[in-house]
Chains A and B, each alone.
Chain A
Amino acid sequence: MMLLLAAGTAAGILVATTLIGPKKEFADKMEPFECGEHPIVSPKLRFSVKFYLVAIFFVIFDIEAVFLYPWAVIFKDLGIFGFVEMMIFIIILAIGLIYVWRRGALEWQ
Chain B
Amino acid sequence: MVPLNHYLILSAVLFSIGAVGVFTRRNALIIYMCIELMLNAVNLTFIAFSKFLNNMDGHIFTFMVMTVAAAEAAVGLAIIISMFRNKETVNVDEINLMKG
Contacts and interface: CB of A to CB of B under 8 A. Distances in A.
A and B touch in the complex (CB under 8 A): yes
Interface of A: 49, 52, 56, 59-60, 63-64, 66-67, 70
A63 B67 contact: yes
A52 B84 CA distance: 14
Contacts of B67: 63-64, 66-67
Contact of A63 (B70, B77, B78, B81): B70
Interface residues of B, number: 10
B13 to A, nearest CB: 19
A47 to B, nearest CB: 12
B53 interface: no
* Overall SS of chain B's interface: helix
Nearest to B60: A70
A66 B63 contact: yes
Nearest to A60: B74
Contacts of A49: 81
Nearest to A56: B74
Contacts of B63: 66-67, 70
A59 B70 contact: yes
B73 interface: yes
Contacts of A56: 73-74, 77-78
B81 A52 contact: yes
Contacts of B71: 60
Contacts of A66: 63, 66-67
A70 B66 CA distance: 15
B24 to A, nearest CB: 26
B77 A52 contact: yes
A69 to B, nearest CB: 9
Contacts of A60: 70-71, 74
19 contacts: A49-B81, A52-B77, A52-B81, A56-B73, A56-B74, A56-B78, A59-B73, A59-B74, A60-B70, A60-B74, A63-B67, A63-B70, A64-B67, A66-B63, A66-B66, A66-B67, A67-B63, A67-B67, A70-B63
